[in-house]
Chain A
Amino acid sequence: MPTRIDKLTKAQEAQFDAHADKWIEIGLRTGKADREKFEASVRDCYGFAGVPFPDVVVWVPSPMVLSLAAPSAALAIELIEAERRGALKPGTARAAVDGAVGDAVYAAVGGAVYAAVGGAVGGAVYGAVSGAVDDIIRRSWMRRFGGQLWSGGWYYGGAWTSFFREVCKLEIPGDTWDRARAYEGTIESACWWWPHRRFVMVCERPVAIHRELANPDVVRGWGSHRLHCEDGPAVVWPDGWGVWSWHGVRVPQHVIEQPELITAQQVLAEQNAEVRRVMIDRMTPERFLGELDAEPVQQDDYGKLWRVELADDEPLVMVELDNSTVEPDGSTKTYFLRVNPECRTALEAVSWTFDQKPSDYVLVAQS
């Protein structure tokens, strides 16, 4: 059994793909979490860290709930303990918890409803504490472990560490491998988890994960797959929270599920060029340009220039560009970028987007 490895053998390298596939399967697991295994593994993690296990494991249905509830609970515990110590005025904790719940409702119900209810009932209390709660959530929701979503990871990922133990049979003195096994157990059994000295909050696995092969030449590794679902969320958890994605671009729900509701004005208001491209793709370029009553102005090797006359405003001039890299399925992504309305040609427009003179815009390579 080696105690040091400077170079892998051919036989070990031949195990790369099989080992990667094992951990890819773990990362993509859906359905019920293995609660028994997670709770045993996380108990061991606390033990190795020298932190008494809190014996309170709270299962939540999605990363969104975890991100709101775990920091809120931690804050509430801090405040209640401070009250008990006499370091805080009685009632402060309750007000803060109200704020935390309010935040969760705000996220779930939406601004308009919340503003109406919150304004009528809890304005004063909420106003006093919500800033603090907001801040706590913003600063600490990311203090989670990724569970199955970190199966790859970097040097700390389960796939990486277990390769040396299981394939290379590397011996490391002490209990290092026991620690690694405990952490790997959390990856193998559940999704995000958030450790605290008084509780562990942990998220169920997704109900479904929909991906597509992005590049047939690369079946595993960076860029091999992307999230994509044509009629629903690409990843969804038991409470319905999820991520909608079109060929790897994260978009709002309605862009996937109700493309007929997308309007040209919504597209123009969207600041992200990739999201805008997908919105136009979903509503079709014909409807987008038709709703705007756009007129083609000029076309050259660089793209196509469109102009929209607007009442009481300067004209809207856009350049339509095709991506230089062709998609694996043979299609080409098309973008519309708004440019200075003084541009008269597509070349002028494209060079303006990079702050270059048209005469200087000579490419030796592009993709």
Chain B
Amino acid sequence: MLIRQGDVLLVPVTTIPAGAIQVARDAGRVILAYGEVTGHAHAIVHPDVTLVSDEQAGELRMWMQVTAPEPVELRHDEHDTLLIPPGTYRVIRQREYQSADMAPLQVAD
């Protein structure tokens, strides 16, 4: 049961790998992804949300924990606000194919 906002997908999971490091907030907001040419971001302002990341084989992986007792708002200027229920999620960025001999490229917007 997945949640998608634009190029960001939230996949419920049960655990986060040990060693994942907390990602700092930006101006008080948890940012799941930034937009390069629009300045917009997929962001949560609720205080009871934590974003962590680790790097495996050069790939940056992210997880989000919502510890608030109620669903929190995931906002973006160009998408409708979504309510994210409490829980743990893998945060997956959309990707694009490049070629058979190159790794997929993260979608930039």
In the complex, chain B residues whose CB is within 8 Å of the CB of A214: 77
Do B82 and A365 touch (CB < 8 A)?
yes
Does B27 reach chain A (CB closer than 8 Å)?
A: yes
Cβ contacts A283-319/B at 8 Å (1 or 0 each):
0000000000000000000000000000000100100
Q: A226 CB to closest chain B CB, in angstroms?
A: 8
Which chain A residues border B38 with CB–CB below 8 Å? Answer: 226, 248-250, 274
Cross-chain contact of A249 among B11, B37, B83, B100 (Cβ < 8 A)? B37
Closest to B76 in A: A367
Contacts of B97 in A (CB 8 A): 317, 338-341, 352
Min Cβ gap A329→B in Å is 13
- Residue B70 interfacial (CB < 8 Å): no
Task: Give residues 336-350 of A contacting B (CB, 8 Å).
Answer: 337-341
Report whether B109 and A271 are in contact in the complex, using a CB–CB cutoff of 8 Å.
no
Chain A residue with minimal CB distance to B101?
A: A314
A364→B2 contact, CB < 8 A: yes
Residues of B within 8 A of A266 (CB): none
The range of chain B's interface size is 35 or more
A275 contacts B5, C-beta separation under 8 Å = no
- Give the distance in Å from the alpha carbon of A149 to the alpha carbon of B3 in the complex: 36
CB-based contact A367/B80 at 8 Å: yes
Q: Which of B14-29 contact A (CB under 8 A)?
A: 27
Residue of B nearest to A271 (CB): B108
CA distance A110 to B100 in the complex (A): 34
A57 to chain B, nearest CB (A): 30
Pairwise interchain contact A314-B100, C-beta atoms closer than 8 A: yes
Across-interface contacts of B77 in A (CB, < 8 A): 214, 222-223
CB interface residues, B 53-97, toward A, < 8 Å: 76-83, 92, 94-97
Contact between chains at B79 and A250 (CB < 8 Å):
no
CB–CB A366/B4 < 8 A: yes
Q: Mark A111-136, 1 if CB is under 8 A from B, else 0.
A: 00000000000000000000000000
Query: Looking at the complex, which one of A317, A337, A367 makes contact with B81 (CB distance below 8 Å)?
Result: A367
Contacts A250-B38, A275-B37 given; indicate if A362 touches B1 (C-beta within 8 A).
yes
Q: Please give me the residue from chain A that is nearest to B43 by CB atom.
A: A222
CA distance A362 to B107 in the complex (A): 21
User: Which residues does chain B contribute within 8 Å of A324, judged by CB atoms?
Assistant: 4, 79-80
Partner of B109, one of A251, A273, A339, A362: A273
A252 to chain B, nearest CB (A): 11
- Within the complex, the shortest CB–CB distance from B42 to chain A, in Å, comes to 10
Q: Which of A275, A314, A325, A364 meets B1, CB within 8 Å? A: A364
In the bound complex, do residue A363 and residue B2 qualify as a contact, i.e. CB atoms below 8 Å apart?
Answer: yes
| A250 & B37 in contact (Cβ 8 Å cutoff) | yes
What residues on B are CB-neighbors of A271 within 8 Å? 105, 108
Contact indicator A364/B3 (Cβ below 8 Å): yes
**Chain A residues with CB under 8 A of B96:** 273, 337-339, 353
Given A249-B38, A339-B96, does the pair A363, B3 have CB atoms closer than 8 Å? Answer: yes
- A317 contacts across to B, CB distance below 8 A: 97
Q: Which of A214, A251, A338, A353 has the most CB of B within 10 A?
A: A353
Cα-based distance from A363 to B82 in the complex (angstroms): 12
Q: Cβ of B48 < 8 Å from any Cβ of A?
A: no
Determine whether the beta carbon of B27 is less than 8 Å from that of A274.
no
Residues of B within 8 A of A366 (CB): 3-5, 82
Q: Which residues of B contact A356 (CB under 8 A)?
A: 2, 9, 11, 92
The chain B residue with its CB closest to the CB of A270 is: B108
Leading 8 A-B pairs by shortest Cβ distance: A223-B77, A367-B80, A274-B109, A366-B4, A367-B79, A250-B37, A354-B9, A364-B1
Known A274-B36, A338-B96, A353-B94; 16 more pairs at CB < 8 Å: A154-B27, A248-B40, A251-B37, A271-B108, A272-B36, A337-B107, A338-B97, A339-B96, A354-B92, A363-B3, A363-B4, A364-B1, A366-B4, A367-B4, A367-B6, A367-B82
